[in-house]
Structure 1
Amino acid sequence: MNKINGYTEEEAKSLVEYIWAGKQAGKTLTYLFETYGAQHGRAKGSVRNYYYALMKNPKQDDRVVKLLDGKQLSVERIREFTDEETDETLRSILAEKSKGISVRRAISNLAGGDDKLMLRLQNKYRNILKKQPERIEAIAAELGLGTGAAEKSFLQRRLENEINALYDKLALSLKEENARLSSENIKLRRENEALKRRSSFKEV
């Protein structure tokens, strides 16, 4: 049976149709990779990699061109923070902190409960704290939160501690989610095997 990058042509068509229908319904690629993988006993990362390979189609396979024709599908790229967005995010977090709200709560509020966005914001802050601590000091001064060296050091240490705690929480959350999905995949595979066995018994 002819295959397209490891999938049968029917499987490749099924994936493309699933992604296309999901995008029409407003679903994200991340969600679609996860749900398709759960339904077909494949890891989310494996589905994602296969989809990206189809989109790139490095061998210019005519079958892939035909599958994608008219679907207007694309890949989602991570957009980098602009300088303006970075400064505005810093202002928001530091302004909230001045009201007695922690960095953890501020990032959570900004992300609106989106764990992946929270992790992205956290990573951005960790990078700034490590490479551009003076940027935080400048925003703090702009907001009238003090610019002394001792105050800066305290602010930086507190931000680092709170962000590290947030990172640990998110990492644990994602680990638990991956474990849950893995367990569901195993359950689905077992159910499929049971159905196949029952079907074979009926045929006999």
Structure 2
Amino acid sequence: MKTIAYLRVSTDKQDLNNQKLEILEYGRKNGFNIDDFFEVEMSSRKTPKQRRINELTKRLCEGDTLIVSELSRLGRSVGQVVFFIDGLIKSKIRLISIKERLDLNGKHDLQSKTMLTMFTLFSEIERDLISERTKQGLAAARAKGKILGRPRGSIGKSKLDGKERVIAEDLKYGVSKAAIARKLGVSRTSLVNFIKTREI
């Protein structure tokens, strides 16, 4: 059984060192050594693949321990963190998060189930809050008279803009729409829509 520390930071080396020292001190006080440091320097906006989460998971086996300075290192959202923790519990991997004073022993016991339920609830609350903030923002924009989205009846830009005369002449001489579309490098559907919206 081994203990792996997961460190995720931006380009700030100071933060990386602080995490290392915090984890080493925690291990010293609690009587265990860190066998390996898994370091990832990056933005929180990266995908799980870019955070090397899958690679980390493959290195952990049943009975191993994963330690982090705080849970936010594991994902961009509560939902991602919950999903990851659930995977650790199912794989019987212990998780320690120092900031939250969390120690999940990797077993399907009452403590682990309770914590996971709480995290899931927080994830749902977070999602609802984001949705509500979005709705409030749109409502506030409408109240200020801002037009959201493309105005009804407006015509978007097209690759065929400026080709109206050519299209009209080809149609006049009986050239098929499919042939015109091929000549202009667009699909027949795009051409038909263009003709309709431009009233050619």
Structure with greater Cα Rg: 2
Normalised by the shorter chain, which TM-score bucket?
Answer: 0.3 to 0.5
Scaled by the length of structure 2, the TM-score of the pair is 0.32
- Greater RCO between the two (CA within 8 Å, min separation 6)? 1
**Going by fraction, where is strand more abundant, 1 or 2?**
2
**Going by fraction, where is helix more abundant, 1 or 2?**
1
